[in-house]
Amino acid sequence: MSKPVPVLKDEEQEHPVPSEWRSKLRDIAGAFENGNHSLRGLVNVDPLDEATAAGIARNIDDYGCTLSPLPDESWDTSICQWQLDYWEVLVDLFTAEEGRSDLVLHVNVFEEAGGFVFKVHFVYVP
């Protein structure tokens, strides 16, 4: 078992994705994998507007591979950084055809009373 990764507020450098966020980020990636591009019904995740959801769906379709569940290996290369009001998170997505893909899930995480709120920015190839 690996050592837990803490939530850090460090605007000077990137850090691994905190352990306590990983399950929620897997849920978000899983929603996209299952076609829920608006993210409706996910607790502590802001639903996406129609235009953003359609853009994400288009980027995934245009990529030409099938998203697969995030393996533990994703956390080896995914990063986050504190931006003074929120954390910017980039999660490497995986596909059935190639394993780790060029697609990333870009999420902003906000601290709110009693926890965190996840706001997906986009899914794209940087």
Residue 68's domain is classified under what CATH number? 3.10.450
Query: CB count, 10 Å around CB of 97?
Result: 11
Query: CB count, 10 Å around CB of 48?
Result: 21
Domain around 98: 15-124
Q: Whole-angstrom Cα distance, residue 8 to residue 104?
A: 21
Is 3 a domain residue?
no
User: Model confidence over 9-63: pLDDT tens digits?
Assistant: 999 999 999 999 999 999 999 999 999 999 999 999 999 999 999 999 999 999 9
Is 108 a domain residue?
yes
How many domains is the chain partitioned into structurally?
1
Is 56 a domain residue?
yes
Is 6 a domain residue?
no
The residues that bridge with 115 in the sheet, in sequence order, are 112
Is 7 a domain residue?
no
Angle at 22 between CA 5 and CA 69, to 5 degrees: 135
The residues that bridge with 119 in the sheet, in sequence order, are 108
Is 24 a domain residue?
yes
Is 84 a domain residue?
yes
Question: Which are the contacts of 113, defined by CB distance < 8 A and separation ≥ 6?
Answer: none
For residues 56 and 123, is the Cβ–Cβ distance under 8 A?
yes
Nearest CA among 41, 38, 102, 40 for reference residue 67: 102
pLDDT-derived band at 3, boundaries 50, 70, 90: confident
Is 59 a domain residue?
yes
